[in-house]
Amino acid sequence: MRETMFQRRDLIEETASLRARILDKLSQLPWDGLRFGHAIPGLSLYRVVEPAGPFSAVYEPSLSLIIKGSKRVHVGNETLIYDESCFFLTAIGLPMTGQICEASEREPYVAAMLRLDLEKLRRIIADNDIHQTDLSERDLGVVVGAAKPELFDALLRLISLTDSPADIPFLANHIQNEILYRLLTGEQGARLRRFALAGTNSNRVAKAVAWLKENYARPLRVEELAEVANMGVSTLHHHFRAMTAMSPLQFQKHLRLHHARELMLSESLDAATAALRVGYESPTQFSREYRRAFGHPPVRDIREILNSNDTTRRDSVG
């Protein structure tokens, strides 16, 4: 986001009353630790009362809005920081590492994440004749943009549906469509449209990412991946790195490590078995790359997570 510090401060002031109303609404909900369980599809709400992270996860296409606090996110070699003045948008599923540096019972970190439905995006583009803008297709697949009052107003109305569950099936879809429309017609809309529309290089890379997520345990042949994306090998490499901050091989490695961690936590697998399950042939290489990614060898990392009450060690936080 190119806004100056003063513009960001102005945005925070502009949305202060709306965010205060959201916080008041959330304070009335029965939180169960990190999250509040509700029936609104696609929406996750988070409340963190102590510094958290770094936590690693494969983020799905989503919009995140911070209602109170700030967050640091690492994507490949890129670092993005956002707060109440910003939204964080990821248009393709990417392995990322996040960290919440400041949070307390008195000043908690509070955020909302809304899952993006690319088919919905395509319908909104077509139904409203939203034209493609001719901009570079070499941008990172995540973006930080200005969180304007219209977004927080829609979020407040969406969260308020918890008071009237019978209205959720009809109204939630309309409000979510409004949020998607705001994103598509806003400052970062061109980037989002490129990922949604077939035929663009961004959309082709998104297909390659989706294929890798389904086939991460298979040996990677870049030529096969290029066929999936309908791109030349060198073109795929160029655009893939620009949009994910990683090569396809690095991306696959991150996917394997994340899934191995999930298997060790959810199925109590030992490190060697988890490594084989996700496609590693060498447990030694797996342990070395795991430590580089998560800071500790597999056995120690899993033991510390299981012995910790910090649920953010297991999950991403919006």
Instruction: Return the domain boundaries, the chain.
Output: 5-195, 201-246, 250-313
- pLDDT attached to residue 304: 87
3-state secondary structure 62-122: EEEEEEECEEEEEECCEEEEEECCEEEEECCCEEEEEEECCCCCCCCEEEEEEECCHHHHH
Residues 6+ apart with CB under 8 A from 213: 58, 93, 255
The pLDDT score that the predictor gives to residue 126 is 85
Q: What is the pLDDT of residue 76?
A: 80
Sign of CA dihedral 83, 84, 88, 94: positive
Task: Tell me the HSE value of 16 on the side-chain side, using a 13 A CA sphere.
Answer: 6
Phi first, then psi: give them for residue 175, nearest 5 degrees: -70, -40
Q: Where are the beta strands (DSSP E) in 151-227?
A: none
Model pLDDT, residue 72 = 92
Which fold, 250-313? Arc Repressor Mutant, subunit A (1.10.10)
pTM for this entry: 0.81
Domains 5-195 and 250-313 share a fold: no
Task: Kindly state the DSSP code that residue 220 receives in the 8-state scheme.
Answer: P
Closest CA to 139 of 207, 225, 205, 57: 205
pLDDT for residue 172:
96
pLDDT tens string for the chain (318 positions)? Answer: 445 776 888 999 999 999 999 999 998 887 766 677 788 999 999 999 888 877 888 888 899 999 999 999 988 888 888 999 999 998 888 888 889 988 998 999 999 999 988 888 888 988 888 765 555 555 677 888 999 999 999 999 999 999 999 999 999 999 999 999 999 998 888 888 888 786 688 888 989 998 999 999 999 999 999 999 999 999 999 989 988 889 999 999 999 999 999 999 989 999 999 999 999 999 999 999 999 988 899 999 999 888 875 555 555 676
pLDDT at 1: 47
Architecture label for domain 5-195: Sandwich (2.60)
